[in-house]
Amino acid sequence: MSRDPADIAPRRRSSRNELDPILGSTIAGDLVIERPIGSGSHADVFLARQRSVGDRKVALKVLCRPYLSLRESDMRRAAMALIREAAVLGQMTSPCFVQVHLTGVLPDTRPFVVLEYVEGETMAALLARTRRLSLARTVEIVVQVAAGLAELHALGHVHRDVTPANFLIGAGPVGELKLKMIDFGTVTRISDKPDRFRVGYDLEHPLGTPGYMAPEQARGDVVDGRADMFALAAIAWEALVGRRAIDPSLMTQRALLDYLRGDAPLPAQPTTEAEGVSTPAQAVLLRALDRDPARRYPDIGIFAKALRASIDDDREAAPPTGLLSRLFKERSRQ
């Protein structure tokens, strides 16, 4: 007797956000929740339609349901973190940040934030598909991200989790690169106090992503905008070289953290492996990736300007090509 393949194939386990009862419901009298589009450690994100504004698409970010079963103090702390995230994001004017449309509380007491919905793929997905980007495209991305982070730093905050998975890349109205940062859950006030005492530091699970984390953040030391600079430089290095700046052979979080807390070279690859990356661009990235934040650029805006200037430096150093090359050779023989 034959069997339906569907009866034989293993059943896919439903993700956390696919089981949330808000799916298909209408909240705030106006928002129709359609489907899940993302999930993080503390919150889930859903695509919704706002009926009163032309049925426009919006992203609904809501505290995940497991918090409802935790102690009231833990639930309150997580809820306040999401509310603070919305408050900080609401202050931003840079076009690389999504806009906040609305905040509220669900009937089950979970807070939610309604955000601008952005079409596009994450830079992580882009790098997985293309492996490497050109210097010009990488610089374009760095400049946009740095402009937004510079505003965040000027307001006295540090992001602490700048990664390729945390921003979307799409096209603007006339085909220009359009970039949006999509996660502010790790943002905190810049302080002169060690980071471990401000965020419930845990040697096994510090806030952030070890593959792009600054060494001082991995150690739980004082963290400021230069940690975000390090992360952005690590992303640029990966985009240009095709390999992670922090030893790509290390796969576990603990191994990555031990590497960051040690004194092994950063980036992990010798510069001879960075084929195709100009010497001026390498010099800029190596400075931004220095283990000592005091030896990096003073701020992320200066870093972005230096990387952009490396394109011009590379063009000036490049030998003539085509007709110009032949003319150059003829002149050199005279």
In a domain, 10, yes or no: no
Q: Are residues 78 and 151 in the same domain?
A: no
For residues 93 and 55, membership in a common domain is answered with: yes
Q: Are residues 284 and 305 in the same domain?
A: yes
- Domain range for 297 is 121-317
Q: What does the pLDDT read at residue 199?
A: 39
Do 265 and 248 reside in the same domain of the chain? Answer: yes
How distant is the alpha carbon of residue 334 from its chain centre?
54
Question: Would 81 be classed as within a structural domain?
Answer: yes
**277's tokens:** 């990356």
Is residue 155 located within the same domain as residue 178? yes
Contact present, 112 and 60 (Cβ < 8 Å):
yes
Residue 176 and residue 57 share a domain: no
Q: What is the CATH number of the domain that holds 267?
A: 1.10.510.10
The residues facing 184 across adjacent strands are none
Q: Are 114 and 50 in contact (CB under 8 A)?
A: yes
Predicted confidence pLDDT, tens digits, the chain (334 residues): 444 444 444 455 556 767 788 999 999 999 999 999 988 778 899 999 999 999 999 999 999 888 888 888 888 888 888 999 999 999 999 999 999 999 999 999 999 999 999 888 999 999 999 999 999 999 999 999 999 999 999 999 999 999 999 989 987 776 778 899 988 888 888 887 776 534 334 445 567 888 999 999 998 888 999 999 999 999 999 999 998 888 878 778 888 888 898 888 888 665 555 666 788 999 999 999 999 999 999 999 999 999 999 987 555 544 444 443 443 344 445 4
Q: Per DSSP, which regions of 154-237 are E strands? A: 157-158, 167-171, 177-181, 188-189
Domain membership of residue 230 (yes or no) is yes
End-of-domain residue from the set 64, 85, 116? 116
Q: Of the residues 46, 81, 116, which one is the last residue of a structural domain? A: 116
> Where do the H-state alpha helices sit in the chain?
5-8, 72-91, 123-130, 135-154, 215-219, 225-241, 253-261, 279-288, 300-317, 322-333
In 3D, which of 308, 309, 310, 284 has the Cα closest to residue 297? Answer: 284
- What is the DSSP code string of 260-304? HHS---SSSS-GGG-TTS-HHHHHHHHHHT-SSGGGS-SSHHHHH
Residue 324 lies in a domain: no
pLDDT of residue 274: 62
Give domain status of residue 4, yes or no. no
Do 107 and 149 fall into the same domain?
no
Distance, in Å, from the CA atom of 333 to the CA atom of 74, rounded to the nearest integer, reads 78
One domain, residues 107 and 229? no
* Residue 146 · residue 174 · CB < 8 Å: no
Two structure tokens written together for 283: 């010099």
Question: Could you give the C-alpha distances from 187 to 253, 259, 266, 267, 296, in angstroms and in order?
Answer: 21, 24, 25, 25, 21
148 assigned to some structural domain: yes
Strand partners, 56: 50
Last residue within a domain, chosen from 116, 139, 162: 116
Q: Are residues 110 and 185 in the same domain?
A: no
Whether 37 maps to a domain, the answer reads yes
Residues 153 and 178 in one domain: yes
Statement to judge: residues 111 and 169 lie in one domain: no
Question: What is the domain-level CATH number for residue 68?
Answer: 3.30.200.20
Q: For residue 54, tell me if it sits in a domain.
A: yes
Domain count, the chain: 2
Sign of CA dihedral 118, 119, 125, 131: negative
> 98 and 174 share a domain?
no
- Note whether 242 and 131 are within 8 A (CB): yes
Short-list 27, 208, 199, CA closest to 110:
27
